[in-house]
Amino acid sequence: MYQAMMFNMDGGQEYQGITDGETWNGWEMPNFTFEVAKKLADDMNSVTTEEKLMYDAENDRFIYAVDYYPEDEWDIFPAIVIDGIKYYPIGAGSWVWDAEPIKT
């Protein structure tokens, strides 16, 4: 069963996503809608030029490209469907995401 949560890295900007509670090395493994993933990419791309989170429309996936890594080492986050809704597991299994319940 998936639960909606707010995700952040190092106490930074929060992004709403869902999780099934699975973790990677103790870190959260979020899934984001396209709109949230695009906002995350825009925010990330506005503060760095060496690292880019890009949407690959042809393959329906986000790619985390790092200038100083070979292309075959870039992170790829393909779309997945959960309960009939498309999500992107950006950073799931490789980034240090924290999660907090959504404040009402």
Q: What is the pLDDT of residue 49?
A: 84
Name residue 43's amino acid: D
The angle formed by the CA atoms of residues 87, 68 and 50, to the nearest 5 degrees, is 65
Residue in this structure with the two tokens 């695009």, named with its chain if needed: 38
* Residue 81 pLDDT > 80: yes
Q: What is the pLDDT of residue 104?
A: 75
Q: What is the pLDDT of residue 57?
A: 98
pLDDT tens digits, one per residue of 22-62: 999 999 999 999 999 999 999 999 998 899 999 999 999 99
pTM summary value:
0.94
